[in-house]
């Protein structure tokens, strides 16, 4: 099997690859700007950025290595919620999300040499109603500050989530079922 390279600094993506049974991979983080042309749908936007990351990661990998890139975004009513700038921004986002549904989209690219495959996954997340006091308490934990949408579903943010329709792992930042199917197309198989 070719060497796998995760082109991401995300500890959650690292953890999810390990949960998939992939232990032998390297981490190389390309420097890219996470921007995309205006007018793209949420899925098109995350796919575009994932491809851009894969293009940048290509310079860090040999033609034989299989690289994996991903980009996750949170969307509420079609508007992107990125990582909060500060605690006030986190409160604004969490207040907007509470009691409502939003969408988490992740674009994933698997690339080996000139061959690349890009796909995306969308998951619907519903937050329970929460008081401002609860939201401020959650923000004080520091957990929301480096996460799109200002929450981490795998941590204390789970206490705000009322339900999920779709891939739970996608909300963490990597749709593992979709990725496993993509990797199979590059000869990386599971359960064999």
**pLDDT per residue rounded down to tens, the chain (192 residues):** 789 999 998 999 999 999 999 989 999 998 888 788 888 999 999 999 999 999 999 999 999 999 999 999 999 998 999 899 999 999 999 999 999 999 999 999 999 999 999 999 999 999 999 999 999 999 999 999 989 899 999 999 999 999 999 999 999 999 999 999 999 999 998 887
Q: Write the Ramachandran bin of 62: left for phi over 0, alpha for psi from -120 to 50, otherwise beta.
A: beta
Q: Which long-range contacts (CB under 8 A, 24 or more apart) does 95-100 make?
A: 95/132, 95/135, 97/127, 97/149, 97/150, 97/151, 97/160, 98/127, 98/128, 98/129, 98/130, 98/135, 98/160, 99/127, 99/128, 99/129, 99/130, 100/76, 100/126, 100/127
Return the CATH number at 34.
Answer: 3.90.950.10
Q: How many domains is the chain partitioned into structurally?
A: 1
Catalytic pick among 55, 71, 86, 167: 71
Residue 92 placed within a domain = yes
Residue 151 placed within a domain = yes
DSSP annotation of 155 = T
89 belongs to the catalytic site: no
Residue 20 placed within a domain = yes
Residue 117 placed within a domain = yes
pTM given for the model: 0.91
Q: 48 is in which domain, residue-wise?
A: 4-184
Is the Cβ–Cβ distance between 98 and 129 less than 8 Å? yes
């Amino acid at each position: 099997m070719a060497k796998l390279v995760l082109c991401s600094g995300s500890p959650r993506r690292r953890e999810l690859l390990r949960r998939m049974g992939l232990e032998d991979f390297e981490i190389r983080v390309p420097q890219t700007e996470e921007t995309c042309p205006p007018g793209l749908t949420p899925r098109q936007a995350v796919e575009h950025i994932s491809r851009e990351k894969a293009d940048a990661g290509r310079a860090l990998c040999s033609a034989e290595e299989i690289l994996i890139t991903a980009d996750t975004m949170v969307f509420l009513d079609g508007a992107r919620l990125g990582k909060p700038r500060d605690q006030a921004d986190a409160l604004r986002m969490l207040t907007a999300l509470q009691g409502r549904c939003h969408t988490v989209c992740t674009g994933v690219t698997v690339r080996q040499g000139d061959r690349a495959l890009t796909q995306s996954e969308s998951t619907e997340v519903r937050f329970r109603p929460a008081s401002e006091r609860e939201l401020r308490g959650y923000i004080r934990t520091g957990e929301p500050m480096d996460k799109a949408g200002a929450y981490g579903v795998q941590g204390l943010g789970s206490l705000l989530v009322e339900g999920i329709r779709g891939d739970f792992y996608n909300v963490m930042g990597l749709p593992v079922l979709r990725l496993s199917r993509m990797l199979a197309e590059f000869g990386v198989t599971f359960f064999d």
